[in-house]
Amino acid sequence: MTQWTAADIDDQQGRTFVVTGANSGLGEVAARALGKAGAHVVLACRDTEKGERVARSIGDNAEVRKLDLADLASIREFADGIDEVDVLVNNAGVMALPLRRTVDGFEMQIGTNHLGHFALTGHLIDKVTDRVVTMSSGLHQIGSVDLDDLNWTRRRYSRWAAYGQSKLANLLFAYELQRRLTASGSSVKSVASHPGYASTNLQAHTESIQDRVMALGNRFLAQSAEMGALPLLYAATVPSVAGGTYLGPDGFMEQRGYPHVVSSNKKSHDVAKAAGLWTLSQQFTGVAFPFD
């Protein structure tokens, strides 16, 4: 793939995309690009007021629906309102927060980034006709999934270790979902992506001095959100993308550039760990996938 951009997205008229976290950052950029290509875009947002502003700028082919990934009841209610979706884009996320918990008692980063999207995908998978795209991060490299203490109730909490765990969990989930879809005979694909180092508001919620440091990084080192969203958009729209593919930027250390196929670390391909995480995620969320 050679310097693919959003201008290369095929006509998406007649197709429906659900994009989580579409009220800002990479999700907003992706929703705008998909809408411009003619898709019907469902902006799944916790902040619906911001979502409505984005939807109005896209046009009549965009709508906003309330979704709080830190609340299993909200996820269930959202999914019940969706009839059919071609592509589910699991984009929303939080990063490096102080220790806090979701409505259901999960550590906020694993609860939002992984368990929330796990539950959403489980509720919607029978309604998905094409693919599920899950956003990970290059920082999955620092992660380690602890199945005995996924929610940081015994370990000393580390905000960055918790973020790395959640992003590694995203990849374990994406790959395991593809294995289970394949085993069930489904034609639906599971694909993953990461944005490299992209300038978004994700880096502004650590509630610490790190916010100021990352603001400088966003200004002088990061690529734009428009560039950061390209691997996600490629994963979501290009017909030839195979299930189980991971896409990221093609530049130095995958920090910036145009989308291409990238690799992930050995931990992300641990089949036993992925199966264990799947089982644990079902237990925590109470969501069973139909092919299980």
- Give the whole-angstrom CA distance, residue 242 versus residue 195: 19
- Of 157, 163, 175, 258, the active-site residue reads 163
User: How far is 260 from 111, CA to CA, in rounded Å?
Assistant: 29
Give the DSSP H/E element, type plus range, for residue 60: none
Active site residue 197: no
φ, ψ dihedrals at 215, nearest 5°: -65, -40
Contact (CB, 8 A) for 40 and 15: yes
Structure tokens belonging to residue 281: 């995620």
Phi, psi of 203 (to 5 degrees): -85, 10
| Four-residue CA torsion sign, 96, 168, 177, 240 | positive
Cα–Cα dist 136/78, whole Å: 23
CA proximity to 151, closest of 193, 191, 186, 108:
108
Active site residues: 163
